[in-house]
Amino acid sequence: MQYALAVDIGGTKMEAALVRGDGTVVDGSRSRRPTGREATSDSLHAAVAAIVSHALAALPDGAELAGAGIGSAGPVDRTDGTILPVNMPLARGFALVESVRTAASAVLGRDVPTTLGHDGGALALAESWLGATQDAGASLSIVVSTGVGGGFVVNGAYIPGATGNAGHLGQVRREGGLTLEEIASGPASAAWAQQQGWAGNTGEDLAKDAAAGVAVARAAIERSARAVGEALADAATLVDLDVVAIGGGFSRVSADYIDLVQQALTASAAHEYSRRTRVVRSGLGDEGPLIGAAALVLR
């Protein structure tokens, strides 16, 4: 059986794991390190070395490693193998492909073919392969978490765009000139609630307070879902989507978050074909981004 090294890098953490050719994650191969707005190229390089060596330690003797797949917060530059992450400004230009290749070579003693994509695109590929959009002719998969991003799959094929950044939904402009990410992400929603007098700090606090009936916490969640749904209505109008799958930690902030997004999409969409687009929860949970990174190699 083939294996792939999967690396997922986001605005809060990075993870790596070993993934089998059938899309299952090898037990014990997964580990993570923090990232954050203060992350630098040096700190990311050290973290990559740690998680890659941990993952590859689980590779069975004699097993075939097809390569390394990386899904990263973007924008990404697939030609240069670098990233320019919005949520990690000090790490702009980080040579991510070289870092992963170097770390893998240090363990295996040989060069490892390495493929870079942005994290939303990797998730879209995973959902189309094994998740909630398997039967869709045209789908968009997004994450709503520390950031907001997505990727398209049409007729089973991942659509990377000219530079590999297609589906960067979080950076489209919405009300007041803000990006969707600046309105709908977990940190942005918490910051908005604080401006309304809320005393909490995190998306987890919003979830707890909203469940307890705190009106401003609930309003922040509804504001996020409405902005996401309206942006998805635009995407559905442009691309004629069958289905949108939503994952990411903040998408689980309330039990009805997906329903709220669907309502906003349906109310905002301009045409019957875009109003028919279904919004569903990710079918792969927390392993989706890693499976997607591996799919960049395995699929």
Query: What H or E segment, with its residue span, contains residue 123?
Result: helix 119-130
When divided into structural domains, the chain yields a total of 2
**Would residue 229 count as lying in a domain?**
yes
**Would residue 128 count as lying in a domain?**
no
Q: What is the pLDDT of residue 150?
A: 93
Could you tell me if 59 and 168 lie in one domain?
Answer: no
Could you tell me if 141 and 279 lie in one domain?
Answer: yes
**Would residue 242 count as lying in a domain?**
yes
pLDDT tens over the chain, length 299 residues: 899 999 999 888 999 999 999 999 999 999 999 999 999 999 999 999 999 999 999 999 989 999 999 999 889 999 999 999 888 999 999 999 999 999 999 999 999 999 999 888 999 999 999 999 999 999 999 999 888 989 999 998 889 898 889 998 999 998 789 999 999 999 999 999 999 999 999 999 999 999 999 999 999 999 999 999 999 999 999 999 999 999 989 999 999 999 999 999 999 999 999 999 999 999 998 899 999 999 999 98
Q: Are 17 and 288 in contact (CB under 8 A)?
A: no
Rounded Cα distance between 58 and 24, Å, is: 13
Could you tell me if 116 and 150 lie in one domain?
Answer: no
DSSP 8-state symbol, 60: P
Could you tell me if 86 and 139 lie in one domain?
Answer: no
Give SS3 for 210: helix
Query: What H or E segment, with its residue span, contains residue 158?
Result: strand 157-159
The reported pTM is: 0.89
- Residue 218 is which amino acid? R
How far CA 279 is from CA of 132, 139, 140, 201, in Å, comes to 10, 10, 10, 28
**Would residue 42 count as lying in a domain?**
yes
**Would residue 127 count as lying in a domain?**
no
- Residue 173 is which amino acid? R
**Would residue 129 count as lying in a domain?**
no
Rounded Cα distance between 8 and 248, Å, is: 13
Could you tell me if 146 and 278 lie in one domain?
Answer: yes
Closest CA to 203 of 124, 119, 144, 126: 144
What is the span of the domain harbouring residue 224? 134-283
DSSP 8-state symbol, 94: B
Determine the longest span between alpha carbons in the chain, in angstroms. Answer: 59
Could you tell me if 275 and 293 lie in one domain?
Answer: no
Could you tell me if 44 and 95 lie in one domain?
Answer: yes
Rounded Cα distance between 128 and 134, Å, is: 4
Could you tell me if 111 and 173 lie in one domain?
Answer: no
**Would residue 279 count as lying in a domain?**
yes
User: Residue 28's domain is classified under what CATH number?
Assistant: 3.30.420.40
Could you tell me if 201 and 225 lie in one domain?
Answer: yes
